[in-house]
């Protein structure tokens, strides 16, 4: 069945007991991301070899990430973009989570076609050649790429789906990333303008991605790429660029670890164990967001009402998701 993207909103498909509605294509929807005023999340699990369903299957923690961005940034449009044709569930727990976050007027769900999305960007030919098929980590490497294409096309802010936004980003000038340590930058938060230096840096990112793509290295095409490009762009060391602010990096800002990554991945249990509650809340009190490191924490079950840092932040910054999550978030 061929569906015109403009008709997606009005078509319901029935598959046995499940009712689903297609999600619009980001390029062909009449409502596109406003330049420099959008926050992007990319969900790429359908690129995993084990993926068998295109039904939207957000976890409560992913939904919390989306809601926290929408709640704290009401004047930005929030786009969660799926890398395959995707359908809204109309029954069950998934419906409750989707309804919770879609109750915010600035939340949008979209899907994309990678070849179409890469058209008229510096990486179009590379994508057409199917180079991404050589990846041993297709889900992660697709995500690494799509965030760069989104920011090249629209500017704005990209966020990982394992964060909770704690403060508004609306008045923070675009063009920034954050340090994960004293030695490396991360790609879990990237902000770029749609023109000027932001667009210039986005082009540098895409050029670096295809030139040095390594399908066997988990981080080569993500944090390693961002660190290499921006340190060359700044022309100085990481610590000097952080301490010197925008004037030391041609108007681009490199935040220290406090902004986005106060708790390093090795200490992810600080968010999920009661014994670390006071310490974790103190270490993150000045953060713009927290990052809970899904690659390490995804199998950790978090019970609602637990006396832990993640629950304290979820109650405040994604209250509708928290209420819809059931017994566990």
pLDDT digits (tens, 9 = 90+) for 221-258: 999 999 999 999 999 999 999 999 999 999 999 999 99
Kindly tell me if the per-residue pLDDT of 289 is higher than 50. yes
- Give the pLDDT confidence score for residue 42 in this predicted structure: 98
% the chain with pLDDT above 70: 92
Within 10 Å of residue 240's Cβ, how many Cβ atoms? 14
326 Cβ neighbours under 8 A, 6+ residues apart: 60, 93, 304
**Mean of all residue pLDDT scores within the chain:** 93
Work out the pLDDT band at 15, boundaries 50, 70, 90.
very low
Q: For position 4, what pLDDT does the model report?
A: 41
If you average pLDDT over residues 105-116, what whole number do you get?
A: 98
Check whether domain 20-324 has CATH 3.30.160, yes or no: no
Nearest alpha carbon to residue 62 among 38, 45, 37, 83: 45
Q: Model's pTM, two decimal places? A: 0.93
80-97 pLDDT, tens digit per residue, is: 999 999 998 888 899 999
Q: Dump pLDDT digits (tens) for 131-142.
A: 999 999 999 999
* pLDDT for position 19: 58
- Does the pLDDT at position 51 exceed 60? no
| Mean pLDDT (whole number) for 13-40 | 83
pLDDT band of residue 54 (cuts 50, 70, 90) is confident
- pLDDT higher than 70, residue 16: no
State residue 194's pLDDT score: 98
Amino acid 91: pLDDT? 85
- Judged against a pLDDT cut of 60, whether residue 12 lies above it is answered with no
Q: What are phi and psi of 5, to 5 degrees?
A: -55, -30
Mean pLDDT over residues 248-274, rounded?
98
- E-strand ranges in the chain read 13-15, 18-22, 24-25, 38-43, 77-82, 87-89, 107-111, 156-159, 163-165, 176-179, 185-192, 253-255, 289-291
Give me the pLDDT at residue 49, please: 63
Summarize the chain as % helix, strand, coil (round to 5). Answer: 45, 20, 40
Where is pLDDT greater, at 15 or 27? 27
> Which residues are paired to 164 by β-bridges?
290
- What's the pLDDT tens digit per position in 173-218? 999 999 999 999 999 999 999 999 999 999 999 999 999 999 999 9
């Amino acid at each position: 069945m061929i569906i015109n993207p403009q008709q997606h909103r009005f078509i319901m498909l029935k598959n046995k007991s499940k009712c689903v509605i297609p999600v619009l294509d980001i390029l062909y929807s009449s409502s596109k991301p406003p330049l420099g005023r959008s926050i992007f999340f990319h969900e790429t699990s359908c690129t995993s070899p084990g993926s068998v369903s295109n039904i939207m299957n957000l976890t409560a923690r992913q939904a919390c990430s989306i809601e926290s961005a929408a709640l704290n940034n009401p004047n930005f449009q929030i786009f969660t973009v799926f890398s395959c044709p995707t359908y809204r569930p109309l029954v069950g727990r998934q419906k409750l989570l989707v309804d919770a976050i879609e109750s915010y007027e600035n939340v949008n769900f979209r899907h994309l076609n990678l070849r179409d999305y890469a058209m008229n960007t510096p990486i179009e030919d590379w994508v057409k050649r199917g180079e991404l098929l050589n990846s041993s980590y297709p889900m992660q490497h697709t995500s690494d790429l799509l965030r760069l294409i989104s920011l090249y096309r629209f500017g704005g802010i990209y966020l990982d789906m394992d964060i909770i936004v704690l403060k508004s980003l609306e008045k923070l000038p675009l063009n920034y990333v954050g340090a994960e340590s004293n030695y490396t930058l991360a790609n879990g938060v990237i902000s770029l303008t749609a023109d000027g230096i932001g667009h210039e840096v986005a082009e540098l990112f895409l050029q670096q991605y295809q030139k040095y793509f390594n399908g066997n290295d988990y981080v080569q095409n993500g944090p390693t790429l961002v660190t290499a490009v921006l340190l060359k762009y700044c022309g100085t060391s990481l610590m000097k660029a952080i301490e010197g602010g925008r004037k030391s990096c041609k108007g681009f800002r490199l935040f220290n670890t406090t902004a986005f990554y106060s708790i390093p991945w090795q200490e992810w249990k600080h968010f999920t164990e009661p014994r670390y509650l006071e310490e974790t809340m103190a270490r993150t009190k000045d953060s713009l967001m927290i990052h809970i490191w899904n690659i390490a924490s995804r199998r950790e079950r978090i019970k609602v009402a637990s006396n832990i840092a993640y629950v304290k932040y979820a109650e405040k910054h994604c209250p509708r998701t928290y209420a819809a999550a059931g017994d566990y978030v």
